Amino acid sequence: MKLKIKDIAIASGGPLIAVMNSKDAAMFDIHVMDRIKIKKGKIIETVVVDIAQSKKVVPKGRLGVFEEVIRSLNLKNNDIVDIAIARKPLSIDYIKKKLDGQRLSKEEINQIVWDIVHNKLSAVEMTYFVAACYTNVMTTEETILLTKAMVEHGDVLKLNKYPVVDKHSIGGIPGNRTTLVVVPIIAVAGYYIPKTSSRSITSAAGTADTMEVLADVTFPIKKMKEIVLKTRGCIVWGGALNLAPADDKIIAVERPLEIDAESQLLASIMAKKHSVSSTHILIDVPVNKDSKVKNRVEALKLKKEFEKIGKKLKKHIKVLITDGRQPIGNGIGPALEARDVLWVLKRDPRRPIDLEKKCLMMCANIFSMVGLKEGYKKALSILNSGKAYQKMVEIIKAQNGKEIAAEDIKIGKYSYDVLSAKSGRIIDIDNVLVSRIARIAGAPHDKGAGIYLYNHIGSKVKKKEKLFTIYSESRHEFEYAKDMAKSSKVFIIR
């Protein structure tokens, strides 16, 4: 069957998709989610089919194709191509097997990951894989195989250095910008720390969003290596690199239902760390009713799994179970968090002490892992000497940024102070509401939007004392965030 190409100017963001007219599809008994092979010259590509009921979208005799298919086959509008029915990928059978609660072999897991990386599975099919692993938790062996497959089907940063240090927080806590303080301290101490970080999914800012206030974060792996070898550290966006690319695609389908299967969380973190050749990895597991890990029992179980996987991958792993009851730092949102970080590095009196203490504690644990004694004292000495700040400036410049004073970081021009309704002691802060209000105000897409906190749990406050300030760059978003704050109990005071 020959059809004429119609470029419908839509990108799927991954899967290869073509759209057939309903009459053409009926002629060959092709249904939604079936596969067809498209042949142009000697190039053949297998794609997932959607069906158009309206001839206005895709007329009879035409084949609508998404941008990914255009690029893969180097197609142009009105090209004539050959169409043939294709079988579904082998991995569909393996996903069904996992849905039935059976274990997957190395070959089966490898095939699923290969199909994900090469866009052979639709978003629906990937979602079934995520759901299968969520309801029928993978064994430790399966998780290790998934980790290795994710690394194998991506690039690897080879530094040929030892040790290579890394850190990761499993997230869920507003603020918590430890990376931007820990990386320069560790680098000053003489250790390599190639840190890849994520952008926000549901929070007011990811580490990459905050670093982007100060420098570029999007680099190819070759440039990342140059930066690390020059400065011993970097803070770059992992999504721009081809490191464990299957992980990014899996995360995209987890997002709508906020599913975070334990096996995929473990594989996701360990694959990213393995792909940058890390040898000593510190994992931060914040615990709270609103975070990913709800209680200490869950945290200890996760800790044990990290350690088992680390041992199999020949990695030194240390898991810290930390207090996730409240935001870490005062600024919530990219620019406000970047300002906090610079205040800590510059030893400014306005620096958030909780963020500083957590960073020093993490550095102490990393130093302990590599055999250094009195790690807390050493990290504090590096911070107080100004060397950590100078190292951060060096990293910022290597990432195409320039030195900037915290006061010169642009904050949203619209602001609103939220005051305490009564006197008392703060006994709880709602992390979910903190992130939600900051996002409604415009974070992270507007770098200057967010929330600045003046108090934390345990603080005594007086009636009409400032609890936090909302900042926004947009009048519309500002009004919405203000209304949300007025109708919400972000702080519980007794």
> Residue 258's pLDDT is what?
67
Other beta carbons within 10 angstroms of residue 120's beta carbon come to 23
> Residue 146's pLDDT is what?
95
> Residue 291's pLDDT is what?
83
Q: Given the DSSP bridges, would you call strands 331-332 and 450-453 parallel, antiparallel or unpaired?
A: antiparallel
| Amino acid, single-letter form, for residue 320 | L
Catalytic amino acids?
Answer: 260
pLDDT, averaged in runs of 10, over the chain (494 residues): 93 91 92 93 93 90 95 94 92 96 97 93 90 92 94 93 95 93 98 94 91 97 97 93 86 74 88 94 93 91 94 95 96 98 98 98 98 96 98 98 97 97 96 96 97 97 97 97 95 96
| Amino acid, single-letter form, for residue 78 | N
Q: What architecture is the 165-239+264-398 domain classified under in CATH?
A: 3-Layer(aba) Sandwich (3.40)
Supply 108's token pair: 């089966």
Beta bridge partners of 461: 424
Beta bridge partners of 166: 281
What whole-number distance in Å separates Cα of residue 75 and Cα of residue 64? 11
Instruction: Please state whether the predicted TM-score (pTM) of the whole model is above 0.85.
Output: yes
| Amino acid, single-letter form, for residue 362 | M
Encode burial over 46-67: b for 16+ CB neighbours within 10 A, e otherwise: bbbbbbbeeeeebeeebbbbbe
Which phi and psi angles does 380 have, rounded to 5°?
-65, -40
Rounded to the nearest angstrom, the gap between the alpha carbon of residue 293 and the centroid of all alpha carbons in its chain is 17
What whole-number distance in Å separates Cα of residue 312 and Cα of residue 293? 24
Q: What is the 3-state secondary structure (H, E, C) of the chain?
A: CEEEEEECCCCCCCCCEEEEEHHHHHHCCCCCCCEEEEEECCEEEEEEEEEECCCCCCCCCEEEECHHHHHHHCCCCCCEEEEEEECCCCHHHHHHHHHCCCCCCHHHHHHHHHHHHCCCCCHHHHHHHHHHHHHCCCCHHHHHHHHHHHHHCCCCCCCCCCCEEEEEECCCCCECCCHHHHHHHHHHCCCEEEEEECCCCCCCCCHHHHHCCCCCCCCCHHHHHHHHHHHCEEEEEHHHCCCCHHHHHHHHHHCCCCCCCHHHHHHHHHHHHHHCCCCEEEEEEEECCCCCECCHHHHHHHHHHHHHHHHHCCCEEEEEEEECCCCECCEECHHHHHHHHHHHHCCCCCCCHHHHHHHHHHHHHHHHHCCCCCHHHHHHHHHHHCHHHHHHHHHHHHCCCCCCCHHHCCCCCEEEEEECCCCEEEEEECHHHHHHHHHHCCCCCCCCCEEEECCCCCCEECCCCEEEEEEECCHHHHHHHHHHHHCCCCEEEC
For residue 245, say if its preceding peptide bond is cis, omega within 30 degrees of 0.
no
Contact in structure between 64 and 10 (CB atoms under 8 Å)? no
* CATH top class, domain 2-86: mainly beta
What whole-number distance in Å separates Cα of residue 291 and Cα of residue 289? 6
Supply 8's token pair: 């419908």
Contact in structure between 1 and 83 (CB atoms under 8 Å)? yes
Other beta carbons within 10 angstroms of residue 243's beta carbon come to 24
Q: Find out if CATH 3.60.20.10 is the number for domain 410-493.
A: no
Q: Which single residue is written with the structure tokens 């299957």?
A: 246
Q: Where are the domains of the chain?
A: 2-86, 91-136, 165-239+264-398, 410-493
Closest CA to 236 of 271, 186, 194, 269: 194
> Residue 254's pLDDT is what?
80
